[in-house]
Amino acid sequence: MGPRDLARPYVAAFVSRFLQMLQYRTAALAGFATQCWWGGIKVMVFAAFYSGSAIAGAASSMSLAQAITYTWLAQGLLVLMPWLGDPEVAQAARTGAVAYDRLRPVDAYALWFARTAGWIAARLLPRVALMAAFAAVALPLVGLGDWAWQLPANALAGAAFLLSVVLGLLLSTAMVMLLNVATTAALNERGIQAVATPVVIVFSGNLLPLALLPDAWQTALLVQPLAGLFDIPARLYFGQLSGWHALAALGLQCFWIVALVAFGRMAMGRTMRSLQVQGG
Amino acid sequence: MPHILVDNLRKTYRVSERDPGLRGALRGLLQRRHRTVEALSGVSFALERGELLGFIGPNGAGKSTAIKILSGILRPDGGRVEVDGRDPFADRERHVARIGVVFGQRTQLWWDLPVGDGFDLLRDIYRVDPQRYRRTRDELVALLHLEHVLDQPVRQLSLGQRMRAEIAAALLHEPDILFLDEPTIGLDAPSKLAVRDFVRRANRERGTTVLLTTHDMHDIEALAQRVIVIGHGRVLADSPVEALRAQVMAERRLVVDFAQDATLPAQVDGATVHSRDGQTLVLDFDPKQTPAPALIARIAGAHAVEDIRLEGLAIEAVIARFYAMHGAAEA
């Protein structure tokens, strides 16, 4: 079996899920509208903070313009946040359709991984495009350039950012896979989701740049896996990490992808050995 | 070497329980209760290549569990299972490439995708050669009359259309073995006939080994040479359908319509009168003691008779009686 044939099932699963999710235009528009609204609020909060003197120290690590760009980036990349398992997997576990996934002559983890990656990518791309059109193009055109999404520090920073977002997508998929496996074991996704949401939104840097959190935590905040979802791509965007530091940051993302995939595979194997198929 | 070998297969489930109502719910918060249910307690049978076996039994008897173990979905708790020399759970990937499975109660096609797209996706997942795939698909589409549904999303199909599409989906990779778990559930008569006809052809013409579970005894009569009755996780019977009928029901029934002006006999030698209605007399007899031809000749010789019909007990009744004999009806 050649490499193309080997990859065929997984590519097909990714593409099919991707195309299927792209059909849901209303969901994409609604998500985009919500994200603009929240983005606007966060931008105004930042502006209020920066106009006071209370966080003069923080202002030195990030300017207001950067904080605003950071906010639009965070809103655009919001679906990278792994606080929700793939709803198809949750439904399959509840109804017992998971049995059919076990009937495919492919690596079961890789099949779900490809499908979940397609699910995330298909929601990510339209939202990023809409957010860029709104915050980077439309806002300056109507004279609100101060509130706009600005270009990356330089071309190299932009390229590093894009690579890092791709790694962030894989990292997010590996984390969603853990939620998928936990959902399959527990038959329900709500409890897991309730715990995951606040943890993810804070430690990924999506709520606030991690650089604004206490100095004593900085090393720990940077090496923990959630930083690879948004904080590392954003630091690359602003050129705060460059040269060897940039490579090390990308390497750290790769390390967490490998570690979480290994852990996810082990957890899935255990869950499947004691699988019960629901509904007769 | 049989195609499928099952030896002393066991599987238990843990079932959670709680008393009904508020008190039960509150107690359940503090103390979880579980009960172990034996779905299969020592099932053994063997199946030769090209055989068509029917699996019947009351709800909850363990039929579906057996199919899920044979197809590698569930891990058995004890005993040995070998399909074409493979251990279904340990060799899952290699195993499932050679089998096709249909669960009548679930769908393996993608709800929002048109049927044809779902087939194409399965082609890639099973890594089927594209040319070979086209040939197999066109053949299945023609045999199962799926021409008009290929571009419809699965969610908009009728149950009969969906089940035919499900069966096609299970055969796109040309498996040697077909497991069908209640493939005719909820179907109307023409769809049932179409499914049966197709399964029979797959078995006869391609030599596919078929194992099917069903509650519709007409499926068994139309298809299976051999039937296994399972109840409480055990094999209660493993025999040809006719032998099962004979075992349960020694008696046969003769329905005699007498001519308008004839007087009905009060007694008939060698038979007992079951009931009488107008000019019709219903007799039960034991064919071992009174052969049917002799009985018919005796009646027709002595009386003016318009019609005589010999009835076997309906297979439904045979099975119900068999379950009752073994105390196997669902608890």
Per-position DSSP letters for B65-89, written without gaps between them:
HHHHHHTTSS--SEEEEEETTB-TT
The verdict on A107 touching B (C-beta cutoff 8 Å) is yes
Which of B59, B99, B108 minimises the CB distance to A100?
B108
Indicate if the pLDDT at residue A51 is higher than 90. no
* Partner-chain contact B103 A104, CB within 8 Å: no
Give the Cα separation of B263 and A92 in Å (integer): 67
B202 phi and psi, to 5 degrees?
-60, -40
Q: What is the pLDDT of residue A201?
A: 85
Contact call for B121 and A105, based on CB within 8 A: no
**Mean pLDDT for chain A?**
86
Residue B125 pLDDT more than 90? yes
CB pairs under 8 A between A and B: 76
Contact B202, B30 (CB under 8 A): no
Which residue on chain B is closest to A19 by alpha carbon? B113
Mean pLDDT over B63-71 rounds to 90
pLDDT at A53 over 80: no
Instruction: With beta carbons under 8 A apart, name residues in chain A contacting B113.
Output: 16, 20
On the question of pLDDT at B331 being above 60, the answer is: no
Residue B130 sits at the vertex; the CA angle it makes with A13 and B177, to the nearest 5 degrees, is 80
Contact between residue B182 and residue B213 where contact means Cβ atoms under 8 Å apart: yes
Q: Which residue of B has its CA nearest to A21?
A: B112
Q: How far apart (Å, rounded) are the C-alpha atoms in residues B165 and A252?
A: 47
Provide φ and ψ at B286, rounded to 5°.
-105, 110
Q: Which of A1, A13, A275 minimises the CB distance to B74? A: A275
For the record, the structure tokens of A217 come out as 């935590």
d(CA B44, CA B7): 4
ipTM above 0.85, yes or no: no
B26 confidence band (pLDDT: 50, 70, 90): confident
Has residue B130 got a pLDDT over 70? Answer: yes
How confident is the model at residue A55, as a pLDDT?
56
Of A1, A20, A104, the CB nearest to B125: A104
Of the pLDDT bands very low, low, confident and very high (cuts 50, 70, 90), residue A31 is confident
Listed ranges A81-85, A208-212, B150-154, B280-284; the one with the highest mean pLDDT: B150-154
Token pair listed for B97? 């490439």
Q: What is the DSSP string of chain A?
A: --HHHHHHHHHHHHHHHHHHHHT-HHHHHHHHHHHHHHHHHHHHHHHHHHHSSTTHHHHHHS-HHHHHHHHHHHHHTGGG---S--HHHHHHHHHTTHHHHTTSSS-HHHHHHHHHHHHHHHHHHHHHHHHHIIIIIIHHHTT-GGGSPPPPSSHHHHHHHHHHHHHHHHHHHHHHHHHHHHHHHHS-SHHHHHHHHHHHHHHTSSSS-GGGS-GGGHHHHHHSGGGGGTHHHHHHHTTSS-THHHHHHHHHHHHHHHHHHHHHHHHHHHHHHT---S--
A12 to B125: CB separation less than 8 angstroms, yes or no: yes
What number is the average pLDDT over the span A67-87? 88
Among all residues of chain A, which has the CA nearest to that of B99?
A103
User: Which residues of chain A neighbour B112 with C-beta distances below 8 Å?
Assistant: 20, 23
Tokens of residue A130, six digits? 């809409």
**Partner-chain residue, chosen from B71, B117, B124, that has the shortest CB–CB distance to A103:** B71
The answer, yes or no, to whether residue B25 has pLDDT greater than 70, is: yes
CB B328 within 8 A of CB B61: yes
* Cross-chain residue pair A16–B101, CB shorter than 8 Å: no
Alpha carbons A157 and B47: distance in angstroms, whole number: 65
pLDDT at position A280:
53
**pLDDT at site B262:** 82
Q: Exposure pattern of B26-56 as b/e (b: 16+ CB <10 Å)? A: eeeeeeeeeeeeebbbebebebeeebbbbbb
Give the pLDDT mean for B276-305: 86
Query: Looking at CA atoms only, how far is residue A104 from chain B in angstroms?
Result: 6
* Chain-centroid distance, C-alpha A267: 21
The answer to whether A111 faces chain B, any CB pair under 8 Å, is yes
pLDDT at residue number A213: 81
Model pLDDT, residue A60: 58
Q: Distance between CA A83 and CA A72 in Å, rounded?
A: 20
pLDDT at B180 exceeding the cut of 90: yes
Residue B115 — very low, low, confident or very high, per pLDDT cuts 50/70/90?
A: very high
Please answer yes or no on whether A102 and B96 come within 8 Å at the CB atom: yes
Residue of A nearest to B182 (CA): A280
Residues of A in contact with B121 (CB under 8 A): 12-13, 16
Residues of B in contact with A95 (CB under 8 A): 106
Interface of B with A (CB under 8 A): 13, 59, 64, 68, 71-75, 92-94, 96-97, 99, 101, 103, 105-108, 110, 112-113, 117, 120-121, 124-127
Q: How many residues can be counted in chain B?
A: 331
Pick A273 or B51 by higher pLDDT.
B51
Interface contact flag, B127 A9, Cβ < 8 Å: yes
Chain A residues in contact with B73 by the CB 8 A cut-off are 99, 102-103, 275, 277
pLDDT above 90 coverage of chain B, percent: 36
- Which of A188-197, B156-165, B290-299, B302-311 shows the lowest mean pLDDT across its residues? A188-197
In order of B174, B199, B220, the CA distances from B161 in angstroms are 21, 16, 22
Return the pLDDT at A263.
Answer: 95
Label residue A277 by pLDDT band (50, 70, 90): low
| A280 part of contact set with chain B, CB < 8 Å | yes
pLDDT at B243: 81
The rounded distance, in Å, linking the Cα atoms of B296 and B299 is 5
Work out the mean pLDDT of chain B and round it to a whole number: 86
Can you tell me the mean pLDDT for B186-209?
89
Query: Would you say residue B291 has pLDDT above 60?
Result: yes
Mean pLDDT (whole number) for A252-278: 88
Residue B120 scores a pLDDT above 80: yes
Q: Give A-chain residues touching B93 at CB under 8 angstroms.
A: 105-107
Confidence of residue B71 (pLDDT cuts 50, 70, 90): very high
Kindly state the tokens that stand for B299.
Answer: 């009646």
- Please report the pLDDT score of residue B126 as a whole number: 94
pLDDT-based confidence at A23, cuts 50/70/90? confident
Condensed to tens digits (0 to 9), the pLDDT of residues A175-221 reads 999 988 888 887 666 777 788 888 888 888 888 888 878 888 888 88
Q: Is the dihedral of CA B212, B214, B218, B220 positive or negative?
A: positive
Which of B105, B117, B124 lies at the smallest CB-CB distance from A8? B124
Tokens linked to B171? 């055969």
pLDDT of residue B250: 67
Residue A57 has pLDDT above 70, yes or no: no
Q: Report the gap between the CA of B127 and the closest CA in chain A (Å).
A: 7
Among A236, A233, A209, smallest CA distance to A154 is for A236
Residue bearing the bigger pLDDT, A18 or A194: A18
Which chain B residue's Cα is nearest to A14? B121
List pLDDT tens digits, range B239-277: 887 787 777 666 778 899 998 888 888 888 888 888 888
Q: Which residues of B touch A8 (CB under 8 A)?
A: 124, 127
Over residues B81-111, the pLDDT tens digits come to: 999 999 999 999 999 999 999 988 888 888 8
**How does strand B226-231 pair with strand B234-240?**
antiparallel
Chain A segment 1-60 residues within 8 A of B by beta carbon are 1, 5, 8-9, 11-13, 16, 20, 23
Residue B57 binned pLDDT confidence (cut-offs 50, 70, 90): confident
Task: Find the mean pLDDT for residues B50-62.
Answer: 87
